[in-house]
Structure 1
């Protein structure tokens, strides 16, 4: 089992994940790839073998108006191949996860089309890097306008807009409000693509009351033979925050309690060890940690697990000894 983290590197003094300059400054995929190569070096140094790349690796490549950026995957094909070869050499699994504005099931045809363009860009980057089928693009189902059944029908329609290359990278994730594991399993059967199970989302949104072990097995079974599945794991936030509200000349303070769906800064090592030894026992998959402390949360979790008898060797968790 490889542990991974998403996008932002906080260790090593902080490392940029991609070129974030505004379009007027002509941001470049080439600059982003320099940043990614530096991150790969850091991952190797810290023995982390799983990483979620920034979706904006090719800046503005899917922007509907700034079409001059669309050909970046082709223009930087040689550099993409170099960085991809480096990732493969180091045994680092790379994935991406477009955000909330990539809505493949939108009622708005233009929004749906732009979502398809974004997914095409992600697939082009991965293909140019020579990444294998484990490098996937994670997507939520999207909005629920018209009801879940109509929303999933629209997702299938959006899926038809994609090339075979983009379809082959796409996987579907359950969410914490609308589309439960049972929903995405049904959608998986319709489009023939795997499910990424998010355990915290499952605990927030599981009307069918599916036990964790059963849920995990159902999701893993959607993956094709020879492709190692992945899941998402996070610890719910428990810390309270103080919020300041200005009322006239006075500043009032109030305590804000966290929502269950909010991610904690780090991962609860005791809960994660229990997940490993009970829920996940005997199963093979990678785990993307979604924690606000990013790589630092992963490294801290590994330290805490090692103290409890679970060690990491060559980026994989296994019993110590």
Structure 2
């Protein structure tokens, strides 16, 4: 079986390569119209060009899995700014899409925890829809709207988990069907367990992204082994291997926080469970030092009997 590994957003091995340069609405509001436009354009251009740099870096290092920054466009969803962030950068968006296709990479977005569909407040849902449409528009501009995915959490419980899930069902249906068709859902570390999230995924025919660290912090009563067949089944309609998330606890006292690197002793039990299941999988590394942590984990795994490194970011078991 093959496991591919990837990382989130910024290739720290590159100099000045953040794809998340931004500006606050407060600062934007202080500027005159010309300066506002210049600053927005400059930050967006830098973010897109740094994404292109990251894609070249990934290809040269054999990394086939990459999460793009949700902050590519500063103030892209702010109702008072309301600017056209697609047309001026059409060529850069298309270049990103062309590189992803050429390099055969799997890419995604992960909006913030504030993009949720369980809130009793209508404004929160309206903002979530705006944010999801923003991410989809970028995928569309890249020509990746049938390949990339947008990963979110179920959301908060607001004191009654059953009612919150019913609100999720109702509010999620408000999304444009094209956007809904690119959504994946992930279990979280405090509220919705893997099983609860999986049940929501099955209800909406949405692929499930299983986060091992979150499961360790918020396990429910089900083992990973019990859940795997149903997890894999949610991905069948897309015809690609499931995606999993992996990070290590920073410490016992800060168990939910992500460590700089991946502790191989923490990761191995999960990877061995996948190994026993025997089907290909992709794993997104969520560690503070990003690409460095990803490549270090693969180096560590490649020293273990039965694990063979067949590309920079790929292990054959």
TM-score interval w.r.t. the shorter chain?
A: 0.7 to 0.9
1:270 to 256, 265, 273: 265
2:80 to 61, 65, 68: 65
Larger fraction in helix: 2
Instruction: Compute the displacement of 1:172 (Å).
Output: 0.8
Aligned to 1:182: 195
Whole-angstrom distance in 2 between the partners of 1:197 and 1:304: 23
Answering whether residue 70 of structure 2 is matched by residue 55 of structure 1, we say yes
Runs of 4+ in 1 over 6 A off after TM superposition: none
Whole-angstrom distance in 2 between the partners of 1:14 and 1:278: 38
Instruction: Compute the displacement of 1:74 (Å).
Output: 4.4
**How many residues align structurally?**
298
Aligned to 1:285: 281
Answering whether residue 114 of structure 2 is matched by residue 101 of structure 1, we say yes
* Contact 1:235 1:291 (8 Å CA) reproduced: yes
List per-residue Cα deviations over 1:154-202 (Å, max 9, x = no partner): 1122212211121011111111111111211221122221111111111
Secondary structure, in 3 states, of the residue corresponding to 1:197? strand
**1:78-157 equivalence runs, <5 A:** 78-131=91-144, 133-157=146-170
Aligned to 1:253: none
Secondary structure, in 3 states, of the residue corresponding to 1:221? helix
2:211 to 198, 205, 213: 198
CA gap of 1:134–1:228, structure 2 versus 1, over 3 A, is farther
Whole-angstrom distance in 1 between the partners of 2:16 and 2:281: 28
Secondary structure, in 3 states, of the residue corresponding to 2:234? coil
CA gap of 1:224–1:75, structure 2 versus 1, over 3 A, is farther
Aligned to 1:294: 290
Whole-angstrom distance in 1 between the partners of 2:248 and 2:271: 14
Aligned to 1:313: 310
2:11 to 6, 9, 12: 9
Secondary structure, in 3 states, of the residue corresponding to 2:86? helix
List per-residue Cα deviations over 1:20-56 (Å, max 9, x = no partner): 2454322454332111101111112222111111111
Greater mean deviation of Cα atoms: 129-138 or 117-126? 129-138
Instruction: Compute the displacement of 1:146 (Å).
Output: 4.4
Secondary structure, in 3 states, of the residue corresponding to 2:7? strand
* Contact 2:212 2:270 (8 Å CA) reproduced: no
CA gap of 1:110–1:119, structure 2 versus 1, over 3 A, is same
* Contact 2:108 2:150 (8 Å CA) reproduced: yes
* Contact 1:52 1:95 (8 Å CA) reproduced: yes
Flag structure 1 segments of 5+ consecutive residues without an equivalent.
239-256
List per-residue Cα deviations over 1:269-320 (Å, max 9, x = no partner): 234334333344302220011111211111111111122242332432114x
Secondary structure, in 3 states, of the residue corresponding to 1:2? strand
Instruction: Compute the displacement of 1:72 (Å).
Output: 1.5
CA gap of 1:112–1:96, structure 2 versus 1, over 3 A, is same
List per-residue Cα deviations over 1:48-76 (Å, max 9, x = no partner): 111111111122121122112xx323443
Secondary structure, in 3 states, of the residue corresponding to 2:236? coil
CA gap of 1:74–1:193, structure 2 versus 1, over 3 A, is farther
Aligned residues: CA RMSD: 2.0
